[in-house]
A and B are shown apart, each in its own frame.
Chain A
Amino acid sequence: MNNNIIKKVSIKVFRNLLLIFLVIGGLSKSKAYTPIVIDILMPAPFIDSTKERVDSFNKENYGKIKIRTTRGPRQTESVSDLAISSLLLGKSDFDILLIDVTWLAKYSEAGWLIPLDEFIDDKEWSLLERGAILGNSYKNIPYRWPLLADIGLLYFRKDLINKVPETPEELLSTSVKLINEGVVSYGYVWQGRQYEGLSCFFLEALHAFGGGWIDSQGKVLLGTKPSIKAASWASRLIESGASPRSVTNFTETEALQAFEQGEAAFMRNWPYAWAELNKDNSPVKGKVGVTTMVAESNGRSVSTLGSWGFSILSSSNNKDLAYKAIKYLTSVQSQRHYFLNFGYTPTYKSLYKDKELRSNSEILPILQQALNRTEERPKTAIYAQISEVLQKQLSSILTKQITPKEGMNLAKSKTLKIIESAGSI
Chain B
Amino acid sequence: MIYLLLITPALTLVLIVFGFPIVRYSWLSLHSYSVLTGLDVIPNTAANWVRLLNDDRFWQDAIQTIRFSTLSVSIELVLAIAIALILHQKIKRRGLVRALSLLPWALPTTIMALGWRWIFNTPYGPLENILNTIGVGTFNFLGDPRYAWLTTVIADVWKTTPFIALLLLAGLQSIPKDLYEAFKLEGGNSNQSFLRITLPLLEPYIILSLLFRIAQAFGVFDLIQVMTGGGPAGTTESLGLYAYLNAMRFLDFGYSATVMLASFILLVFYCLMLWILLSISKRIYELII
Q: Which residues on A are within 8 Å of B, measured CB to CB?
A: 77, 80-81, 84, 106, 109-111, 192-195, 244-250, 254, 257-258, 381-382, 384-385, 388, 391-392, 395-396, 398-399, 401, 421-423
Are B140 and A249 interface neighbours, CB within 8 A?
Answer: yes
In the assembled complex, which residues on chain B have CB atoms less than 8 Å from the CB atom of A194?
Answer: 228-234
Q: Pick from A249, A254, A421 the residue with the most CB of B within 10 Å.
A: A249
* Shortest Cβ gap from A115 to chain B (Å): 16
B145 at interface, CB cutoff 8 A = yes
Choose, from B76-84, B160-168, B247-255, the stretch at the interface: B247-255
B140 near A246: Cβ-Cβ < 8 Å: yes
**Which of these binds chain A: B86-94, B117-125, B185-193, B272-280?**
B117-125
Q: Are B142 and A249 in contact (CB under 8 A)?
A: yes
Supply 14 A–B pairs (Cβ within 8 Å), ascending by A.
A80-B249, A193-B232, A244-B122, A248-B231, A384-B245, A388-B249, A392-B233, A392-B234, A396-B145, A396-B232, A396-B234, A398-B232, A399-B144, A421-B51
Interface string of B211-238 (1 = CB under 8 A from A): 0000000000000000011111110000
Q: Which residues of B contact A81 (CB under 8 A)?
A: 248
The 10 lowest CB-CB distance pairs between A and B, nearest first, are A194-B231, A248-B143, A249-B143, A246-B122, A396-B233, A249-B142, A384-B249, A392-B234, A395-B233, A245-B140
B9 at the binding interface (Cβ < 8 Å) = no
B138 at the binding interface (Cβ < 8 Å) = yes
B107 on the A face (CB < 8 A): no
Contact B35 A110 (CB under 8 A): yes
Partner of B234, one of A248, A382, A395, A421: A395
Bound-state CA distance A193–B231 (Å) is 7
Contact, CB under 8 Å: A195 / B231: yes
Q: What is the distance, in angstroms, from A157's C-beta to the closest C-beta of chain B?
A: 18
Closest B residue, CB atoms, query A247: B143
Does B130 reach chain A (CB closer than 8 Å)?
Answer: no
Q: Does B39 contact A (CB under 8 A)?
A: yes
Contacts of B95 in A (CB 8 A): none
A250 to B117, CA, bound (A): 12
CA distance in complex: A409, B124 (Å): 35
Which of chain B's residues have a CB closer than 8 A to the CB of A381?
Answer: 35-36, 251
Can you add 14 more A-B contacts, CB < 8 Å, to A248-B231, A249-B122? A80-B249, A109-B36, A110-B35, A194-B231, A245-B122, A248-B140, A248-B143, A249-B140, A249-B142, A249-B143, A388-B245, A391-B231, A398-B232, A399-B233
A315 to B230, CA, bound (A): 34
User: What residues of chain A lie closer than 8 Å to B51, measured between beta carbons?
Assistant: 421
- The answer to whether B135 has its CB under 8 Å from any CB of chain A is no
Cβ-defined contact, A249 with B121, below 8 A: yes
CB distance from A245 to the nearest CB of B (A): 5
- The residue from B138, B233, B234 contacting A245, defined by CB atoms under 8 A apart: B138
A46–B109 CA distance with the chains assembled, in angstroms: 27
Q: Size range of the interface on B?
A: 20 to 34
CA distance A118 to B20 in the complex (A): 44
Judge whether B176 is part of the interface by a CB distance below 8 angstroms.
no
Would A399 and B232 count as touching, CB distance under 8 A?
Answer: yes
Q: B232 and A384: CB pair below 8 A? A: no
Q: Mark B42-82, 1 if CB is under 8 A from A, else 0.
A: 00000000010000000000000000000000000000000
CB-CB < 8 A to B36: which residues of A?
109, 381-382, 422-423
- What distance in Å separates the Cβ of A282 from its nearest Cβ neighbour in chain B? 17
Closest to A396 in B: B233
A106 to B142, CA, bound (A): 31
CA distance A193 to B141 in the complex (A): 12
Whole-angstrom distance between the Cβ of B134 and the nearest chain A Cβ: 19
B102 to chain A, nearest CB (A): 28
Which residues of the other chain, B, contact A249 by a CB distance below 8 angstroms? Answer: 121-122, 140, 142-143, 228, 231-232
Contacts of B124 in A (CB 8 A): 254, 257
Q: Tell me, in angstroms, the Cα distance from A424 to B123 when the chains sit together.
A: 43
Assembled-state Cα–Cα distance A111/B36 (Å): 11
- A109 to chain B: which residues have CB within 8 Å? 35-36, 38
Closest A residue by C-beta to B124: A257
Please name all residues of chain A whose beta carbon is closer than 8 Å to the beta carbon of B142 when the two chains form the complex: 249
Contacts of B122 in A (CB 8 A): 244-246, 249
Q: How far is the CB of B49 from chain A (nearest CB, A)?
A: 14
Q: Are A246 and B143 in contact (CB under 8 A)?
A: yes
Please name all residues of chain B whose beta carbon is closer than 8 Å to the beta carbon of A385 when the two chains form the complex.
Answer: 250
Q: Which residues of A contact B140 (CB under 8 A)?
A: 245-246, 248-249
- Which of B121, B232, B249 sits near A77, CB closer than 8 Å? B249
Q: Which residues of A contact B121 (CB under 8 A)?
A: 249, 254
Measured CB to CB, the nearest residue on chain B to A87 is B39
Do B233 and A80 have beta carbons less than 8 Å apart? no
Instruction: Report Cα–Cα, A192/B144, bound state, in Å.
Output: 12
A111 touching B38 by the CB < 8 A rule? yes
Q: Contacts A248-B144, A399-B144 known; A195 to B229 CB distance under 8 Å?
A: yes
Shortest distance between the CB of A306 and any CB in chain B (Å): 18
CB distance from B176 to the nearest CB of A (A): 51
- Chain A residues, CB < 8 A from B249: 77, 80, 384, 388
| Centre residue among B121, B122, B138, B142 by max chain A CB count within 10 A | B122
Closest to A194 in B: B231
A266 to B51 alpha-carbon distance, docked (Å): 44
Q: How far is the CA of A229 from the CA of B138 in the complex (A)?
A: 29
Cα-based distance from A18 to B121 in the complex (angstroms): 75
Known: A195-B229, A399-B143. A246 touches B234 (CB 8 A): no
Give CA–CA (A249, B234) in the complex, Å: 12
- Shortest Cβ gap from B171 to chain A (Å): 39
Taking CB atoms, residues of chain B closer than 8 Å to A246 are 122-123, 138, 140, 143
| A contact residues around B145 at 8 Å (CB) | 396, 399, 401
**Which residues of the other chain, A, contact B233 by a CB distance below 8 angstroms?**
194, 392, 395-396, 399, 401
Q: Do B38 and A248 touch across chains, with their CB atoms under 8 A apart?
A: no
- Residues of chain A within 8 A (CB-CB) of B248 are 80-81, 84
Q: How far, in Å, is B252 (CB) from chain A's closest CB?
A: 8
Q: Is the CB of A245 within 8 A of B143?
A: yes
Q: How many Å lie between the Cα of A398 and that of B143 in the bound state?
A: 9
CB-defined interface of B115-158 with A at 8 Å, one 1/0 digit per residue?
00000011110000000000000101011110000000000000
